[in-house]
């Protein structure tokens, strides 16, 4: 039995999404910039998808810009805030994805911009008082905080953080790559200026995502060329990908509550089994706390195990990871930030396509491997 429990890295494509994409791979293949009927059909599809996404997020269609994924969306937001938004101070966290942290490092070299990191406790909970202090003592701020961490699953109260940013007239950017399609967003009430998302995290295709940019917030061009995406992002649009993204988001929101409850039950099941079979395990951050963590992610530390658990599980047909797929082979900056430097961490991440039987099998196999290692 092959078991895939690495859904935070990428999710399997929903067959219904593939069905929706196929006509735009084979029949409706026109360039949306062309004036003939093939091009007009493609253009119409793009705008329908844009409108569909906007309805789900309660925003304007023109506030949705299609990108190649979450990394590009994050890059556009940060570069825009610094180069066009007048920002000279960025407030962020040490837990952000490399798409944010590496972009900020690059901007610090090329522009007069400073970065401050929010203080936090040893579980990764952010200090709101420190946020207020940084906002009060600096001007021209951008606050960039992800909704949920991709490694340990901690949920951040982005509504409260965004409101604090609004109070101090700061820009606010949030990376929702792990949470889009898993939580509802109302961008008419959430005072965010930028929001990034990626289709392949909610059973859509790879290579496509979007950036939400609130109307009136300036956007910089990272890709130069033609006038696509209202002259904001050059290059012929990925029509099948955009269709897949919009379809996957439709499916996610049709069943959001049911899927949330089901996936949380799988996560709870694994927590119970690990605590029973391997009492020494520890859970990183807020990973095991249902109300404070993303229900699709469980980060587990095995204090006394050798660093070959991932390979041993893979040999048994069970796919998991140690953390972010974007930093394979490197020490986790997230775990380091909360002081987890010993033992062996495994990130289990779940989807609606997993089953209780798969959870039981994974726990049983893992317990057997740990017993062999300890022997």
Residues in the chain: 375
- What lies within 8 Å, CB to CB, of 27 at 6+ separation is none
Per the annotation, the verdict on 326 as an active-site residue is yes
Distance CA 270, CA 120 (A): 28
**Catalytic one among 59, 213, 326, 370?**
326
For residue 104, which of 176, 175, 178, 162 has the smallest C-alpha distance? 175
Q: Is the sign of the CA dihedral 285, 288, 293, 299 positive or negative? A: positive
Distance CA 367, CA 229 (A): 51
For residue 318, which of 367, 269, 373 has the smallest C-alpha distance? 367
Distance CA 168, CA 138 (A): 10
- DSSP of 69-83: SHHHHHHHHHHHHHH
- DSSP of 147-169: SB-TTT-BBP-HHHHHHHHHHTT
Kindly list the catalytic residues.
Answer: 326
């Amino acid at each position: 039995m092959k078991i895939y429990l690495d859904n935070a890295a990428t999710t399997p494509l929903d067959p219904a999404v593939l069905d929706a994409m196929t006509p735009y791979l084979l029949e409706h293949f026109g360039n949306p910039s062309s004036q003939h009927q093939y091009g007009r059909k493609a253009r119409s599809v793009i705008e329908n998808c844009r409108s569909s996404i906007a309805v789900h997020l309660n925003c304007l269609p023109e506030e949705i810009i299609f990108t190649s994924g979450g990394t590009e969306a994050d890059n556009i937001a940060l570069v825009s805030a610094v180069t066009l938004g007048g920002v000279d101070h960025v407030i962020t966290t040490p837990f952000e994805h490399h798409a944010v942290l590496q972009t900020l490092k690059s901007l610090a070299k090329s522009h007069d911009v400073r970065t401050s990191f929010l203080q936090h406790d040893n579980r990764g909970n952010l200090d709101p008082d420190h946020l207020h202090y940084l906002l009060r003592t600096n001007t021209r701020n951008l606050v960039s905080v992800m909704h949920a961490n991709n490694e340990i699953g901690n949920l951040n109260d982005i509504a409260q953080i965004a409101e604090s940013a609004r109070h101090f007239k700061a820009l606010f950017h949030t990376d929702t790559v792990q949470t889009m399609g898993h939580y509802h967003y109302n961008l008419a009430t959430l005072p965010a200026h930028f929001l990034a998302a990626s289709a392949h995290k909610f059973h859509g295709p790879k290579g496509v995502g979007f950036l939400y940019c609130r109307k009136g917030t300036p956007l910089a061009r990272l890709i130069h060329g033609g006038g696509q995406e209202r002259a904001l992002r050059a290059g012929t649009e990925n029509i099948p990908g955009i269709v897949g993204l919009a379809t996957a988001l439709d499916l996610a929101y049709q069943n959001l509550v049911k899927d949330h409850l089901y996936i949380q039950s799988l996560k709870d099941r694994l927590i119970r089994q690990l605590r029973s079979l391997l009492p020494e395990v520890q859970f990183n951050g807020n990973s095991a706390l249902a109300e404070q963590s993303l229900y699709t992610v469980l980060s587990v530390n095995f204090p006394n195990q050798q660093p070959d658990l991932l390979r041993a599980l893979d040999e048994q047909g069970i796919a998991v990871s140690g953390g972010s797929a974007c930093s394979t082979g490197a020490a986790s900056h997230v775990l380091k930030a909360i002081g987890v430097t010993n033992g062996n961490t495994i990130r289990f991440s779940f989807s609606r396509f997993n089953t209780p039987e798969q959870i039981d099998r994974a726990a049983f196999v893992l317990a057997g491997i740990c017993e062999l290692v300890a022997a």
